[in-house]
């Protein structure tokens, strides 16, 4: 018996269909990328002020959709009701739920990476900090709309982002609790598993990566799934993520803007984690008239 007898891949079937229809096509292996936001609510203890410890809680039943928006669409950016326009580092789709142009794309692998961390504080807690600058991006570092890299734990508690933790605490809190499914045409669902089985697929410190951080490391799908062009069945696609159970990370209070006054110790209101997914495989499209 041949080793591959009874096994048919989506790549093989699609190429055979193109050949049967005598279609001239161009092939590409560029992946599709999409970014979503997960939120941790910060719950402060009942002790008298100032509370030095709080609880960052990843709530159950959070739902996200990768690949559901295109460049320029509105996407969540921090606290509830706050949005921004998706940029090219968020997604490379021109339209949500669709491939670009008239491309058929065979999904043969998935990778995930924690793209960014953001944090928000109550407005009353940061007048001194935001008063240091009129720059909107600096102000956004305190209201959850600007991504922050904080090796000195000057804006974020050290448990959120500090080399001293030697791990991506908040990213790793999400992965085993996030169930992922592929959804076509809003009616066909294929459970993929949980996000902790999907490796990094890019460059990152080994200490902060889910698996070996290199571009060829991905969750492989040898049989493949076909994301068809717009006018075909299976042309509407998203990958959904749902948090099944709550997850808690204890965090400490910090004094913003380098203050040494104990009265300036404050707690965050939310921590936001942006997670990017890429689907890898083979894209097939007919050549256009323009060069």
- Two tokens at 55? 């609880």
> Do residues 59 and 243 touch, judged by C-beta distance below 8 A?
yes
So what's the pLDDT on residue 38? Answer: 98
Q: Where are the domains of the chain?
A: 10-285
Q: Which residue is listed with tokens 């933790």?
A: 165
Q: Which helix (H) or strand (E) holds 113?
A: strand 104-121
Spatial separation of the C-alpha atoms in residues 133 and 155, rounded to whole Å: 14
HSE toward the beta carbon, residue 79, CA cutoff 13 A? 13
DSSP label of 30 = P
Q: How far apart are CA 291 and CA 281, in angstroms?
A: 24
What pLDDT is stored for residue 4 in this prediction? 57
Q: Is 107 in a helix, a strand, or coil? A: strand
Residue 49 has pLDDT above 60, yes or no: no
pLDDT score of 1 more than 50: no
DSSP 25: -
3-state secondary structure of 264: helix
The H-or-E segment that residue 170 falls in is helix 169-174
The C-alpha atoms of residue 122 and residue 131 are separated, in whole angstroms, by 14
| Residue 70 backbone dihedrals phi, psi, to 5 degrees | -120, 175
pLDDT at residue 168 is higher than 60: yes
The string of pLDDT tens digits covering residues 57-104 is 999 999 999 999 999 999 999 999 999 999 999 999 999 999 999 999
> How far is 120 from 135, CA to CA, in rounded Å?
16
Q: Is the peptide bond before 63 cis (omega within 30 degrees of 0)?
A: no
Structure tokens at 120: 């928000």
Residue with tokens 């085993």: 176
C-alpha dihedral sign at 16, 21, 25, 28: negative
pLDDT tens digits, 231-259: 899 999 999 999 999 999 999 988 886 66
CA–CA dist 182, 187 (Å, integer): 10
What's the whole-number mean pLDDT along residues 265-284? Answer: 95
CA distance 190 to 171: 24
Whether the CB-CB separation of 32 and 99 falls below 8 Å is answered with yes
Residue 242 vs residues 48, 64, 174, 228: alpha-carbon distances, Å: 36, 7, 10, 25
Residue 40: pLDDT band by 50, 70, 90 thresholds?
very high
Any residues with CB less than 8 A from the CB of 121 and at least 6 apart, and which?
A: 142, 143, 256, 266, 267, 268, 269
* DSSP label at residue 53: E
pLDDT tops 60 at residue 271: yes
Angle at 38 between CA 33 and CA 41, to 5 degrees: 165
């Amino acid at each position: 018996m041949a080793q591959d007898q009874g096994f048919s891949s989506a790549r093989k079937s699609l190429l055979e269909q193109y050949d049967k229809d005598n279609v001239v096509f161009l092939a590409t292996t560029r992946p599709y990328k999409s970014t979503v936001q997960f939120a941790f609510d910060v719950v402060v203890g009942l002790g008298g002020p100032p509370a030095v410890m709080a609880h960052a809680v990843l709530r159950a039943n959070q739902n996200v959709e990768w690949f559901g928006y295109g460049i320029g669409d509105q996407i969540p950016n921090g606290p509830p009701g706050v949005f921004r326009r998706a940029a090219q580092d968020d997604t490379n789709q021109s339209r949500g739920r669709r491939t670009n142009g008239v491309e058929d794309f065979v999904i043969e692998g998935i990778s995930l990476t924690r793209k960014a961390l953001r944090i928000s504080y109550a407005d009353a807690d940061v007048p001194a900090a935001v008063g240091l600058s009129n720059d909107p991006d600096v102000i956004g570092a305190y209201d959850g709309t600007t991504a922050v890299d904080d090796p000195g734990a000057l804006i974020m508690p050290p448990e959120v982002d500090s080399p001293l933790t030697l791990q991506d605490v908040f990213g790793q809190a999400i992965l085993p609790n996030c169930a992922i499914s592929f959804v076509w045409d809003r009616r066909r669902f294929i459970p993929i598993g949980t996000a902790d089985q999907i490796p990094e697929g890019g460059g990152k410190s080994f200490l902060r990566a889910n698996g070996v951080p290199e571009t060829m490391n991905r969750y492989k799908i040898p049989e493949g799934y076909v994301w068809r062009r717009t006018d075909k069945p299976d042309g509407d696609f998203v990958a959904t993520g749902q948090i099944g159970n709550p997850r808690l990370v204890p965090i400490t209070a910090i004094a913003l803007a380098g203050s040494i006054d104990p009265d300036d110790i404050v707690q965050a209101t939310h921590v936001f984690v942006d997670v990017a997914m890429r689907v890898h495989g083979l894209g097939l499209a007919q050549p256009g008239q323009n060069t």
